[in-house]
Amino acid sequence: MRESSSDDARRNFRRLLNDVEHGEHVVVLRYGQQSAVVVPADWYEQARSALAANRARMKPGGQVVHKDGDIGNNELANIEVVYPEEGERS
């Protein structure tokens, strides 16, 4: 994942979009702080769907866990919700 200042992103927006269309994620920095992440549209839709599905099936106290440890892999087959055993809740 590469970083780009907001000024550079504005000046070179077409290049940034081309990079994103080819699978790159770009963190946009504003005043040196992360302001946004530009990701491919299909990746965004997958992440949105995965989050909505997890919210729909999640009870209070549950935690979203990525089975293979890859937090960038938000396909539903890679995500599960786990709940602490009774008595383990803090």
Which CATH number is 22's domain given?
Answer: 3.40.1620.10
* 87 falls within a domain: no
Is 74 found in the same domain as 60?
yes
* 18 falls within a domain: yes
Distances (CA, A) of 49 to 27, 29, 46, 61, 75: 22, 27, 5, 21, 9
Is 62 found in the same domain as 74?
yes
Is 77 found in the same domain as 58?
yes
**What tens digit of pLDDT does each residue of 24-51 get?**
999 999 999 999 999 998 888 888 877 7
Domain around 47: 42-82
**What tens digit of pLDDT does each residue of 71-81 get?**
555 566 666 66
Q: Number of structural domains, the chain?
A: 2
Is 64 found in the same domain as 46?
yes
C-alpha to C-alpha distance for 49 and 46, rounded to whole angstroms: 5
pLDDT band at 69 (very low <50, low <70, confident <90, very high): low
* 88 falls within a domain: no
Global confidence as pTM: 0.58
